[in-house]
Homo-oligomer: A and B are copies of this chain.
Amino acid sequence: MYSSYLFLRNDLPETIENNGNEDQPKIRKPDSSLGLTNLPIELSRRALQKKDFILTIMVVGKSGLGKSTLINSMFLTDICEYVASIAPKTVSIEAKSVSLRENGINLLLTIVDTPGFGDSIDNTNCLIPIIEFLEKQHDNHLKLELGHSTPVCDLRVHCCLYFIQPTGHSLKPLDIQFMKTLSNKVNIIPVIAKADTLTPEERTEFKTQIMKDITENDIKIYEFPNLLGDIEEYKQNKLFKSKVPFAVMGANTVIEINGKKVRARKYAWGTAEVENLEHCDFVALKSMLLHKHLQDVIDVTDNVFYLDYKRNKLAQILSSCNVFESKLFCRIQNKENSEEQIEIKTE
């Protein structure tokens, strides 16, 4: 909880002494305490009282990259299930919600799946339904804010896990197009799917190549907030950053290893454990998303992506209002003119 205090601290006004520079506005010191110093503590207390979290995660990637398995492994529940079928010709959007409760804290989790993404022969239009869905959610929320509709389930997507095929080569054109187009609409967290097919050396090399492709193509992925003041936090954030893109794997089977039940994949040559940091980055991704930066992905969605949408939309509405207003003004003036003419006639 210290972290939320630290994060919020950035937004607090700082008490700077006016050091004789006349250009700077004078900062007045109140005569008695306004209690401002108490604000961070109060916010921290409220945060501690907050027991309900709403998290919406979108998973995108070609079929067969283990999206459902990863999500099920992450939330230790069977939210997603795969239904055998030849890939559909268009991308569909499927949302499934589940309420998770642990030690009195509730998490309303929604998984937005995008079956059919990248599976067609021609994938030119497969981003359209995804963009439409993201904007529709912002739109619903804006209508609610403006009092134009009754509350509906808030499905604004807080982060998008983008699954990269474990080729060991480089990003493919569709990966680049997706991340580039969507990165100003949602927090994108790239993950290397089915990483148990890459040896440690291949994994390191592939990660370097992907980050190079991301930089060269000006793709903005989700950046962890820089938490100030805490060395431990800083170290952990650095560790998280070094793991991006997270090389993950999931498993639907639970196996007993040394008397402990673990999610793992049993091959003829050994057992790959999902929650073993030496085997993959699953734990790092889970810890980053659920334990450390859950509130941040929600805040960024609200303060950056939703705000952007709202500004653009309101500007549009305003401009169309202006057009309407000026048309109305013209009509009124025309009417007045004709009335004047009529008056002249009757005179």
A-to-B contact residues, CB < 8 Å: 62-65, 82, 84-87, 89, 119-124, 165-174, 176-177, 194, 196-197, 199-200, 209, 213, 253, 265-273, 276, 278-279
For A213, list chain B residues within 8 Å (CB).
86
Cα distance A273–B209 in the bound complex, in angstroms:
27
Instruction: Establish whether residues A269 and B268, one from each chain, have CB atoms under 8 Å apart when the complex forms.
Output: no
A119 and B86 in contact, given A64-B165, A196-B267, A197-B194 (Cβ under 8 angstroms): no
Instruction: Establish whether residues B121 and A124, one from each chain, have CB atoms under 8 Å apart when the complex forms.
Output: yes
Cα distance A271–B271 in the bound complex, in angstroms:
11
Instruction: Establish whether residues A169 and B84, one from each chain, have CB atoms under 8 Å apart when the complex forms.
Output: yes
Instruction: Establish whether residues B267 and A173, one from each chain, have CB atoms under 8 Å apart when the complex forms.
Output: no
For A276, list chain B residues within 8 Å (CB).
268
For A176, list chain B residues within 8 Å (CB).
86
Please report whether the interface of chain A is mostly helix, strand, loop or mixed according to DSSP. Answer: loop
Instruction: Establish whether residues A121 and B169, one from each chain, have CB atoms under 8 Å apart when the complex forms.
Output: no
Instruction: Establish whether residues A63 and B167, one from each chain, have CB atoms under 8 Å apart when the complex forms.
Output: yes
Instruction: Establish whether residues B172 and A87, one from each chain, have CB atoms under 8 Å apart when the complex forms.
Output: yes
Top 4 A-B pairs, shortest CB-CB distance = A64-B167, A270-B270, A269-B270, A197-B197
Instruction: Establish whether residues B199 and A267, one from each chain, have CB atoms under 8 Å apart when the complex forms.
Output: yes
Closest chain B residue, CB of each to CB of A119 = B172
Cα distance A174–B170 in the bound complex, in angstroms:
21
Cα distance A281–B309 in the bound complex, in angstroms:
53
Instruction: Say which residue of B199, B209, B269 sits within 8 Å of A84 (CB atoms).
Output: B209
Instruction: Say which residue of B87, B172, B173, B267 sits within 8 Å of A269 (CB atoms).
Output: B267
Instruction: Say which residue of B89, B170, B197, B269 sits within 8 Å of A279 (CB atoms).
Output: B269
A174 and B279 in contact, given A197-B197, A268-B200, A270-B270 (Cβ under 8 angstroms): no
Cα distance A177–B119 in the bound complex, in angstroms:
13
Which interface residue of A86, A119, A176, A209 has the most chain B CB atoms within 10 A? A86
21 residue pairs of the A-B complex, CB under 8 angstroms, read A62-B167, A63-B169, A64-B166, A64-B168, A82-B169, A84-B209, A86-B176, A87-B172, A87-B173, A122-B123, A166-B197, A194-B197, A196-B267, A199-B265, A199-B266, A200-B267, A267-B279, A268-B276, A269-B271, A269-B279, A270-B271
Cα distance A84–B168 in the bound complex, in angstroms:
10
Cα distance A329–B118 in the bound complex, in angstroms:
58
Cα distance A196–B124 in the bound complex, in angstroms:
31
